[in-house]
């Protein structure tokens, strides 16, 4: 079964490049432009891993992940936080995330982090 990735980011260029890379690696990839739409996507089609931006309109990454962690159906999904401002991560909340990638990150960092957190089926 194909593993699925949800990318939640309002930076279309970065999201598209990351999605294309992961698709080439054989993952099914869905995109959402904010945390609210990310949660709606997860409700419709559960992802195996989520990559989310920190700051987005409507609902930011931390709020989306807090809601995921409070939902027993979504709580165990690994989450990779992507941010250009690691100092903006709310204090005490790095534990919400399984990994943090600081922008700009390399393709190799994305691949190795996804593979580390999402072993082959």
Q: Give yes or no for residue 106 having a pLDDT over 80.
A: yes
pLDDT over 90 at 14, yes or no = no
Helical packing angle, 12-24 and 107-117, nearest 10°: 60
d(CA 79, CA 57): 19
Task: Flag whether pLDDT at 120 surpasses 80.
Answer: no
Per-residue three-class SS string for 25-91:
CCCEEEEECCHHHHHHHHHHCCCCEEEEECCCCCCCHHHHHHHHHHCCCCCCCCEEEEECCHHHCCC
Mean pLDDT rounded to a whole number for the chain: 91
**Cα distance between residue 102 and residue 111, in whole Å:** 14
- Residue 94, pLDDT above cutoff 60: no
All domains of the chain, ordered by start, with CATH? Answer: 4-117 (3.40.50.2300)
pLDDT over 80 at 95, yes or no: no
The model's pTM is 0.93
Residues 6+ apart with CB under 8 A from 10: 33, 34, 53, 56, 57
Residue % of the chain over a pLDDT of 90: 72
The pLDDT assigned to 85 comes to: 84
pLDDT at 52 over 80: yes
């Amino acid at each position: 079964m194909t593993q699925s990735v949800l990318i939640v980011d309002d930076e279309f260029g970065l999201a598209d490049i990351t999605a294309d890379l992961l698709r080439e690696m054989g993952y099914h990839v869905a995109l959402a432009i904010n945390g609210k739409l990310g949660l709606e996507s997860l409700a419709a089609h559960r992802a195996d891993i989520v990559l989310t931006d920190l700051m987005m309109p409507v609902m930011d990454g931390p709020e989306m992940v807090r809601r995921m962690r409070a939902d027993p159906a979504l709580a165990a999904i690994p989450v990779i936080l992507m941010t250009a401002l690691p100092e903006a991560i709310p204090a005490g909340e790095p534990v919400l995330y399984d990994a943090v990638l600081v922008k700009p990150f390399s393709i190799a960092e994305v691949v190795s982090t996804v593979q580390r957190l999402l072993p082959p089926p």
